[in-house]
Each structure stands twice: as C-alpha cells, then as structure tokens.
Chain A
Amino acid sequence: AQSVTQLDSQVPVFEEAPVELRCNYSSSVSVYLFWYVQYPNQGLQLLLKYLSGSTLVESINGFEAEFNKSQTSFHLRKPSVHISDTAEYFCAVSEAAGNKLTFGGGTRVLVKP
C-alpha cells in the first residue's frame, strides 16, 4: 500500500516570491511520482513527473521537483510565482506505468499581488 502526505494544505505567497510545496510518500516498492495542478472547477493537468534517471525534473512553466529517495520526498518548487499559478496542487504516486494513482491531500496556492 502507498500513501502520500502533503504537509501544507494552504500556502499563501506574494507574486514573484519563491514557493515550495512539500510532498512525502511511503511505499514498499519503487514508485513513479507526479505533480498535478487543478484550476478552479477544472480537471487535473499533469505538471511534471519522475519515472527514472535524473532526480530533478522540470516543467515548461518554471516549476521543478526533486526526487529524494532517502527522504522519500518529491517537493515542488518555483523560484518566482505569478498570479496565474493560483491553483490546487496534488502530489501523486503509482507503483507501475499506467497503474492507479494515490493522491496526497492537495496544497492550495494563493498568489497575492
């Protein structure tokens, strides 16, 4: 069985400031790791993923996440946020390709001007 913990349910941040969203997981097997973003009243969009290889993965809109196996973490960061980054962010894991996802509780990011 797997579980995902997102320690912060809400993160207020000022525009152009950095943000870090924490994600820790537990699993008895190797996992794939994902970050999804959900804008109000919309479905989920894949932000980035770690499958293997380089532990630092990046998205096209400036987010990055680093897989740390020893700490079982996959924290998400952005050095400078925009108002448009206001959304809910979900960390998720799966045990195998195409397998079911286990989601964390989500972190609501509110970017203030």
Chain B
Amino acid sequence: GAVVSQHPSRVICKSGTSVKIECRSLDFQATTMFWYRQFPKQSLMLMATSNEGSKATYEQGVEKDKFLINHASLTLSTLTVTSAHPEDSSFYICSAGVAGLDTQYFGPGTRLTVL
C-alpha cells in the first residue's frame, strides 16, 4: 500500500514552454502533498505544501507564479513549471501524506530538462 506515482518520469522541453507534472496517490487519499526539487548530488529542497481544495503554501524564495500547484482532489496534485528555462532543469519529487499520520510517501520523481 501507500504508493505514489508521478507522470511523466522524464521530460525534455524547449525554453519558454510550460510543463505539467502529475503526482497521484494510488491507494490512499492524501490530504497533503509536498513538492520538492533536487539538484544533482544535492539534497531535497521543499518548494511548496498543498492541501486538497486550498491554495498551496510556498517556501521562501519559490516563485508561486512560476511553479503553479493545483491539488484538485485527494489523489492528485499537479505542478506546472511555466515558461521553463534551463535553470529550472532539476529532479522534481512529490510526496503525499495523511493528516495526523507521521509518514510521507514519495513518488519516483520527474527529471525535467529544459533546452
């Protein structure tokens, strides 16, 4: 149980285009989803926290207009990188959790490469 999927697993796009990444909890309902980015050989940095049906809470320094997060249902959250640039190239990882429970379950990640 507690499986989280991400789609796509890998995406390459041209500079200036927008890319949408989906995060789904497959066998449980996630009240909270988290989005992280990870640069090569570095740790995970939290970008934002999203709760179903409400606006995401962004970490300091993360542009909310550039990284649009939607948590439309208890099993789906999306991250849209708008007008992507090469510096947005990174490994994006989502995690899902249930309110009051201690463990987050992580997706396999999406590698974004912006040319």
Contact = CB atoms under 8 A, between A and B. Distances in A.
**Are A and B genuine complex partners?**
yes
Interface residues of B, number: 28
A101 B104 contact: yes
B8 to A, nearest CB: 14
B49 A97 contact: no
Nearest to A90: B43
B111 A43 contact: no
A75 to B, nearest CB: 18
Interface residues of A, number: 22
Interface stretch (A17-25, A60-68, A79-87, A102-110): A102-110
A69 interface: no
> Chain B CB within 10 Å — which of A43, A103, A104 has the most?
A43
B39 to A, nearest CB: 11
Contacts of B108: 42-43
Interface of A: 32, 36, 41-46, 49, 51, 90, 94, 97-98, 100-106, 108
Interface of B: 4, 6, 31-32, 34, 41-46, 49, 93, 95, 97-109, 111
